[in-house]
Chain A
Amino acid sequence: MVMNTKKSINTAKIIEAIIYFVFIVMILIYIYPFMRLVLTSVGANPNTVPPQFIPSNTTFEGYELFIFNPSMSLWLINSLIFTFGVTLGSTALAIFAGYALSRLNFPGRSFFFWFIIFGMMMPGIMLYVPLFILLIKMRLINTYIGLLVPPMASAYNVFLMKQAFDAVPKDFEEAAIIDGASTATIVFKILLPLIRPTLITMILFNIVWNWNNFAWPWFVAPDRKFWTLPLGVYLTSWSYTVKFWQYASGAVLLLIPPLTLYTIANIYFIRGLRIAGLKR
C-alpha cells in the first residue's frame, strides 16, 4: 500500500511539472512579441546583433507622430468613426431583423433564415473582390458611405440576435401582453434587458473586430484621407521613409484600445468567442 501511494505521488509530481512547463512556455510565447513591439516603438532596434532590449536612443517620436501629426491623427479619427458607426448600425439592424426572425411567425420565415445562413457560408474576403467592383460602379469608393454601410449587413450579428431572442421564454412576453404592454415596451423594457449579456458580448466583439479590420478599408478607401488606423500603420510599415520606431508606435497605439477593452470585459469576450465558435 505504501508503494502505491508513493507511485501515485510521483506521477502526480511529474504531471504537475509538465503542466507548469506548458504554462510557462505559453506565457512566454504570447507575452514576448508584445513586449518586443513596445520596446521597438521606443527605439530599441530588433534587427541588430544582438537585438536591443534597451534603446540606444529612447524616443517617443513615433507616438507623437501618430497623435499630433494631422495626417496621421486623421487615421485615428477615421477608425473611431468606422468602428462605432459600423457597430451601431449593424447592431441596430441585427436587433430588428433578429427579433423578426425569432418572434414573428410569418410565411417564408425559414426561407429568410436559410437565406441568411447561406450568406454566412460565403468566404468573406473573396466577396470583397466583386463588392469592390460594385462599389466602383456605385461611385462609393473613397466615401464614408461606401466605407461604413456595407459592413453593417452582418449576417453573423443577425444570427446571434435571433439565437438570443430565441433563448428568452415566450412566457415573459405573454405575461406582459396580458398586462397590456405595447410591442415597443415589450421589446425595450423586457426583451432587450433579458438578452443583455449576449448583446454586450456581441457589441464588444463588433467593436474589436471593426477596429482591427484593415482588409476592408484597404479595398474601399485607397485614398489616404480615408485610411483607418490599422490601414495607415500597415501601409506605412512597408514604406522606406518611415522609421521602425514610428510604425511600431502606430502598432502599439493600434492595440491599446482592444487590449484595454479585453482586460476589462474579460468574461464577455470569453463567452463571445465560445458562442461565435459554435455558432455554425
Chain B
Amino acid sequence: MSIVMRLMTFMNVRIRNLLIALLLMLPFLVLYVIFTIVPAIYAFYYSLYRTSPTGDKYVGLGNYVYYLSGQDSRFVYGMTNVLIYGLFNALSILISLLIAWIFSSPYMKSKFSNLVLIIMLLPMVISWVALGMALNQSTSSIIGIIRYFNNNIEIQHPAASLSFAVYYVGLMLVWGSLGYNTMLLISTIKSIPQDYIDAAKVDGASEWQIFRHVTLPLIKNILIFILVNAAIVAFNIFDPVATLTGGGPAWVSTSVAFYAARQLMYAYNYGGACAMGVITIVIVLTLSLLQYRLIYKRLA
C-alpha cells in the first residue's frame, strides 16, 4: 500500500485526485451504470422487438406505432389518465396555495398550523398499501352511512365504477399530496422578505391585495416549477393506482406505468412494455429539461 502512496505523490495532484475519486465513487458508479444506465439502453433495444413465448421478432418501430396510434385502448387509457392525474396534481397545488396563504397569515397561531401540517403530511410517510386500503374502506363506510339514512340511494363504490374510478384516484391523489405541497408553498411564501409585505401594508393594500400584487408574483417562478413537477410526477404514478383500484375496473383508471408493469409481469410482453417505457422516458426528459431551463432563467 505504501508503495502505491509513494508512487502517487509523484503524480500530478489532479490525476491523483481523479484516481481517488474514482475509487470512492466506484461502488456507486458500478451499481448505477448496471442498474440505471444499462436498463435505459435495454429499454430502447427491446422496444424494437415483439416478444412472445414462441420467440422474439424484430419489428422496428412497430411497437411505437401500435401504441401511439391508439390501437391499444389500455395504453390510451393510461396516457389520458396520466393527463387527468396531472391535472389533479395541479389542482392539489392550487388548493395548497390557498391553504398555505391562510396558514402564513398573521392571524395564524403557528403552533396549530404546525400540528395540522404534521397531520396533513401523514400520507407521505405511510405506504400506499395501507393508504389505499384505508381510503377504500373509508369511502365504503361513508357510502354505508349515506345509504343508512336514505335506503333508496344506490351508490356504487367509485373504485368499482367505470365512469368514476379515474376521478376517485385523482381525488385521492389530491388527498395524498396536499400536505407536502402546502408545506412547500408555506416555506416559499415565508421566503419573501418581510420588507416587501410591510411596504405594501403601509402603502395601503389589504391582505388580498398584498397576496395578489406582491406575494403571488414573487413566488411565480417556484410555482411554475412545482406545476411542471406535477406533470412529471403524473407519469410515475403507480402505487395509488395499484392499491386503490388495481387499474380497473377494466383498466379505466390505469396509469402508463402500471399498465406497462402488468404487461411485463403477466403477459410477458417485454417489447411492448419497453416501448411504453421509452415513450414515457422521452416525455419526462423533455419536461425535466424544461424545468431546468426554468431554473436557469430564474437565476439569470
Q: A109-B21, A116-B32, A233-B129 are known contacts. Are A123 and B284 too (CB-CB below 8 A)?
A: yes
* Dominant secondary structure at the A interface: helix
By the criterion CB–CB under 8 Å, are B280 and A126 in contact? Answer: yes
Type the 1/0 row for B1-45, where 1 means its CB is closer than 8 Å to any CB of A: 000000000000011011011001101110110111111101100
By the criterion CB–CB under 8 Å, are B32 and A155 in contact? Answer: yes
In-complex Cβ contact of B28 among A94, A125, A127, A247 (8 A): A94
Chain A CB within 10 Å, residue with most, of B126, B129, B184: B129
In-complex Cβ contact of B42 among A29, A99, A134, A212 (8 A): A134
By the criterion CB–CB under 8 Å, are B40 and A127 in contact? Answer: yes
Contacts of A123 in B (CB 8 A): 232, 235-236, 257, 280-281, 284
Contacts of A208 in B (CB 8 A): 125
By the criterion CB–CB under 8 Å, are A100 and B124 in contact? Answer: no
Does A9 count as interface, using CB distance less than 8 angstroms? Answer: no
Contacts of B42 in A (CB 8 A): 130, 133-134
Does A222 count as interface, using CB distance less than 8 angstroms? Answer: yes
By the criterion CB–CB under 8 Å, are B107 and A33 in contact? Answer: no
In-complex Cβ contact of B24 among A37, A100, A122 (8 A): A100
Stretch of B140-148, B161-169, B192-200 contacting A (4+ beta carbons < 8 Å):
B140-148
Contacts of B125 in A (CB 8 A): 208, 212, 258-259, 261-262, 269
CA A241 to CA B229, docked complex, whole Å: 41
For chain B, residues 90 to 107, give those with C-beta under 8 angstroms from any C-beta of chain A. 99, 102, 105, 107
Stretch of B60-68, B130-138, B210-218 contacting A (4+ beta carbons < 8 Å):
B130-138
Stretch of A18-26, A66-74, A195-203 contacting B (4+ beta carbons < 8 Å):
A18-26
Type the 1/0 row for A255-280, where 1 means its CB is closer than 8 Å to any CB of B: 10011011000100110011001101
- Nearest chain A residue, comparing its CB with the CB of B31: A153
CA A248 to CA B118, docked complex, whole Å: 24
CA A150 to CA B265, docked complex, whole Å: 19
Does B122 count as interface, using CB distance less than 8 angstroms? Answer: yes
In-complex Cβ contact of A104 among B21, B126, B257, B276 (8 A): B21
Contacts of A262 in B (CB 8 A): 122, 125
The count of chain A contact residues (Cβ–Cβ below 8 Å) is 94
The count of chain B contact residues (Cβ–Cβ below 8 Å) is 90
* Dominant secondary structure at the B interface: helix
By the criterion CB–CB under 8 Å, are B285 and A121 in contact? Answer: yes
Q: Give the shortest distance, in Å, between B152 (CB) and chain A (any CB).
A: 12
Does B270 count as interface, using CB distance less than 8 angstroms? Answer: yes
In-complex Cβ contact of B238 among A18, A212, A215, A252 (8 A): A215
- What are 10 sample pairs from A and B whose C-beta atoms fall under 8 A apart? A100-B25, A106-B14, A130-B39, A214-B128, A214-B239, A254-B129, A262-B122, A273-B180, A273-B184, A274-B187
Closest 6 CB pairs of A and B: A212-B127, A153-B31, A51-B141, A50-B148, A51-B144, A33-B134
Beyond A119-B36, A150-B35, 9 additional contacts (C-beta under 8 Å) are A27-B116, A93-B28, A97-B28, A134-B34, A134-B39, A237-B133, A248-B133, A274-B183, A277-B183
B positions within 8 Å CB-CB of A: 14-15, 17-18, 20-21, 24-25, 27-29, 31-32, 34-40, 42-43, 46, 99, 102, 105, 107-108, 112, 116-131, 133-135, 137-138, 140-141, 144-145, 147-148, 175, 178-180, 183-184, 187, 229, 232, 235-236, 238-239, 242-243, 246, 256-257, 260-261, 264-265, 270, 273-274, 276-277, 280-281, 284-285, 288-289, 291
